[in-house]
Structure 1
Amino acid sequence: MSEPQETKAVPKTVPKTGPKSEATAPEAPVGELTGKQLKDLKKQEKAAKRAATKESIGIAPINPAAAASKEKQQAKTQTAVKKQITQAQIKPAGSTKKIPPLFSHLDRKESKALKFNPEIANIVHPEILSLFLKFQNYRVVGSTARVLAMLDAFKVLIHDYTTPENTTLQRHLTSYLSHQIDYLKNSRPLSVTMGNAIRWLKQQISVISISMSDVDAKKLICEQIDEFINEKIVITQQVIIDNASLHISNESVVLTYGFSDVLCKLFEHCANVEGKKFTLIVVDSRPLFEGKKLVRELIASNTTANINVHYVLINAISTIMDKVHTVFLGAHAMLSNGRLYSRVGTALIAMCANKRNVPVLVCAESLKFSEKIQLDSVTNNESADWKDLVKISKNAPVKTGFALEQFLQQKKAVAQTPAPVSKKQQQKTPIPEASEDVESLSAYEKRDNLYLLNVLYDLTPPEYIKKVITEMGSLPPSSVPVILREYKAGSV
């Protein structure tokens, strides 16, 4: 009789223990859970902590199912926003491709027309649209000027920003800024200074306390942007000017190329504050002619009383380098392998100076230092509109020099007088006379074997550079990784 009782008790206990074990599965020891169950538990714990934090602040808790659906909806909206931004990108107006095959991988901004969607106004801030046009039309040129214009636009954007419902400023503002930056990239690729400033700004937004109100948070972000500009650009440039002014003496001949904001302030400081008298040779090149801006700035600041300014084009660099004592160059970026990434033509000037034993000094803030490594200027570069190379400026002088006029008259007279033709030449096919259309680039689009290239930057090897003057002192180009490490440890 005892055995049947035991057999009856067994089926009674099995169904009772079965459901209990299933119901108490989450309470089992951690070692018995699978990886998926562990992830679910961690998600539930994080969700519970967030809900408790929001409830302590006064935000109503959200249903987990509703939160999941909301995240999916946000992902869909972000994808839709990217599609709208892509549709509003600049589209090529023509189908002609006049760029060499070697540089066909570069991003071209040639003959582009804007295509704005009505819905893009709800995504992109008007200040970003205005900055987009300034970058695209080269109204704002230079790494320092571009990052200052971008940060000023971000301040206006943050001031006008309002946080949507059921979200926080710390999470939504970062994605909102990403949409603005994605649209801004369509005008021109971001510079190294812009990339460093964007990473810093996103990090500052992410560490803001969730208990802070939106008004105080926006005010704090704008104040941090002002401090960043003051520390990383204004004060940094003043330290660089104090160090670089030691390399300029009275009666010396200094050469520079294009326009650099820190170099312009350096020459003004040496002339107006220190009272040094020296000769400055400004070398320039087309199509942007940035050196003209430097000459205008020096004239406007009344520095021509102490500085004897000469303006030449880059094709005369070999004839004037013998008289130069020091070469000062600006930088778009300093790469991790010590190479200088700057306006095209910089490498030519550094090479000519190195051949004549003229020291080349580069003035660059640590904000321009990049961890990238580049060995040539073909793999990664920026290609501008190649039609700028064949455009003639409206302000070009109409009158030519006496020697050029005599040369043109003689050439025209030779073309008009027929040359003596022999009987054998008469039997051959007549050769058409040279015309202005054939000699000029008026019909360049119809010529299959003619390619035009307008790259903006080149790469200067570190052996051509003697010193890199930064806010940390005058260092060799091989010390760029050390500056990057100090920059990360101290400021980022």
Structure 2
Amino acid sequence: MATESNGAPAGAPAPQEAKTAAPASAKAPAAAPAAPGAAAANPEKLTPAQLKAKAKAEKAARRAKAIENKAAVVAATPAKEAGKGKGKQDGQPAQNKQHRPSMSGRRPSIGGIVEKEKDVRSGIPECFSHVPMAKRVQLSQAHKDVDPAVLVVGQQMAAFAIKDSISRLEATLLAFKKVIESYETPKGNSLSRHLVPHVLNPQIEYLTECRPMCFAMGNAIRLLKTKINSFDINDPEDETKEELLEWIDGMINERIKLAEYLIARNAAGLIEEGEKVLTYGRHRLVEKTLLKAKEIGKTFDVTIIDDPYERGGQTLAKTLRQAGINVLYSPNLGGLRPKVAGATNVILGGEAIFANGSLNAASGTADVAMAGQNAGAKVTVLCETINFDRERVSVDALTYNEIDPERNTADCFRLLFDNTQDKYISGVVTEFESGGGNSPAQAILALLRMREDPQIA
């Protein structure tokens, strides 16, 4: 935009005095850096009226330029790319350009995530529309009462940094410990009546929103609520909190760590000398069982059929080879029958076992179990009793499952778990001592009753 020497716009009206004094005003800035005092001695200095007129003209020019810049930013909002080019031509400050989109882009970011999520689920057939899927919940959308420790666990579950059910259970219980430690009962309330509905329930709802609750978490939370409700309203808060924290520690030590050790020991005792063991993917209990069998001096070979999506079998193969175990690795389910035909014991890990004895495990487990049973091999499942579901039954993989959020497109999607019927399972190894820990899959209700009352045999 063309401007005059006094800084006013070419078309802006100005007093006559300002026009006649233009040469003097042009010389004054050049002389000012050299001799600041010279301006005062210059006989051609501007009169107060001229200075006032000049200031008014400059103010009008700045105002007109600001209006033009504002109009350019508004016009650039619908077309971002065009706005970038125009901003460069108009000389808009870079700081201003970066600041405006960041403020206006904060709120649409949440809407963009919701829109993307809707697009992801839009490709799922209606018969699978009831199957949940993990999602990353924005921290700004979480309930205000959700503890920071629970926020971290929820984000890790949504990102599958914590995958298997027992790891999720342990992380949840440790986060609940921090919630209870920082809890203070409000005046006029009791811990046994206030803690669950007003404190624990928001934590549970947030974790469930991040990823559907696994069976171990559901059982542990049910037991925790029962424990809290068992306290009297007049019990001292400090003693009640201390007892709750000890109960959680006992749950972790007994139902997770001790159960893991006993299952590995019981299952290792079932592996015979020189046996051909076959497993699928990588399961924590199977890995510890094979290492325990090697530790007690047994010689055996292992065939690993890997999950083609997770690739946990690669890590398991490296671990077993470092322990001196002969390993045959297969990257996928292709050629499953010939590999199963040479196996004598198929050892699988489970996520849960239903009341009718069916097994919920990683996708592909059912194929390996059926192939092993048809080949005449023993099919042994390793599972903690905290993963047993005494109330529900399952006959297919459509009811209790999850959709893999990382492998879900408009063309196809993947279910995380499958269902293995009890007729394809030779036995289940739990942390119980009786019978070497090996029980029929249909006997989980009897096992649970035995756990609640050890006098039952």
TM-score greater than 0.5 by the shorter chain = yes
CA contact 1:278–1:308 (8 Å) conserved in 2: no
Structure possessing the higher relative contact order (Cα contacts under 8 Å, 6 or more residues apart):
1
CA apart distance, 1:151? 0.8
Structure 2 residue 335 is the aligned partner of structure 1 residue 310: no
Give the equivalent residue in structure 1 for 2:283: 260
Distance 2:310 2:431 in 1: 29
**Partner letter of residue 172 of structure 1?**
H
Shift in alpha-carbon separation, 1:297–1:183, aligned structure 2, 3 A = farther
Per-residue Cα deviation, 1:21-71 (whole angstroms, up to 9, x for no partner): xxxxxxxxxxxxxxxxxxxxxxxxxxxxxxxxxxxxxxxxxxxxxxxxxxx
Matched residue pairs, number?
337
How far the C-alpha of 1:469 sits from its partner, in A, is 1.3
Equivalent residues of 1:192, 1:370 under 8 A apart? yes
CA RMSD of aligned residues (A): 2.5
User: How do 1:392-411 and structure 2 match up within 5 A?
Assistant: none
Q: 1:149 to 1:292 in 2, by over 3 A?
A: farther
Say if 2:430 and 2:438, in contact at 8 Å, map to a contact too.
yes
Q: Relative to 1, partners in 2 of residues 1:94 and 1:208: Cα closer, same or farther, differing over 3 Å?
A: closer
CA 1:146–1:490 in structure 2 vs 1: closer, same or farther (change >3 Å)? farther
Q: Which residue of 2 aligns with 1:401?
A: none
Post-superposition Cα deviations, 1:362-417, rounded to whole Å, max 9, x if no partner, equal: 111111110211111123321121x536xxxxxxxxxxxxxxxxxxxxxxxxxxxx
**Structure 1 position 311, deviation (Å):** 4.7
Aligned residues with identical type, % of pairs: 29
Number of the residue aligned with 1:457: 417
SS in 2 for 1:341: strand
Paired amino acid for 1:103: F
2:267 to 244, 247, 267: 244
CA contact (8 A) 1:322 1:356 kept: yes
TM-score, normalised via structure 1 length: 0.64
For 2:319 and 2:157, the matched residues in 1 are separated by: 21
Secondary structure, in 3 states, of the residue corresponding to 1:384?
strand
Unaligned runs of 5+ in 1: 1-86, 390-443, 446-450
Tell me the distance in 2 between the aligned counterparts of 1:100 and 1:170: 44
C-alpha displacement of 1:359: 0.9
- 4+ runs deviating over 4 angstroms: 296-299, 488-491
1:342 is aligned to 2:361: yes
Q: Distance in 2 between matches of 1:159 and 1:233?
A: 22
CA contact (8 A) 2:402 2:416 kept: yes
Contact 2:352 2:388 (C-alpha < 8 Å) held by counterparts: yes
Structure 2 unpaired stretches of 5+? 1-109
Alignment of 1:368-407 (within 5 A): 368-371=387-390, 372-385=392-405, 387-388=406-407
Give the corresponding residue for 2:161. 139
1:123 to 145, 148, 162: 145
Deviation per residue, 1:240-296 (Å, 9 max, x gap): 223211221232221111222222211111112x02222122222132233244345
Deviation at 1:99, TM superposition (A): 1.9
Q: Would you say the 8 A contact 1:271–1:307 is kept in 2?
A: no
What secondary structure is seen at the aligned counterpart in 2 of 1:342? Answer: strand
Shift of residue 309 of structure 1? 5.4
**TM-score for the superposition, normalised by structure 2:** 0.68
Superposed displacement of residue 307, structure 1:
4.4
Counterpart amino acid of residue 282 in structure 1: I
**What's the offset of the Cα at 1:92?**
4.8
Residues 178-220 of structure 1: per-residue CA shift (max 9 Å, x gap): 1100111011111111111001111111223444432332222
Contact conserved, 1:260 with 1:330, CA < 8 A, in 2?
Answer: yes
Q: Note if contact 1:276-1:306 (Cα within 8 Å) is conserved in structure 2.
A: no
Corresponding residue SS for 2:242: helix
Q: What secondary structure is seen at the aligned counterpart in 1 of 2:371?
A: helix
SS in 2 for 1:271: helix
Equivalent of 1:470, from 424, 430, 436? 430
Of the three residues 215, 228, 233, the one matched with 1:205 is 228
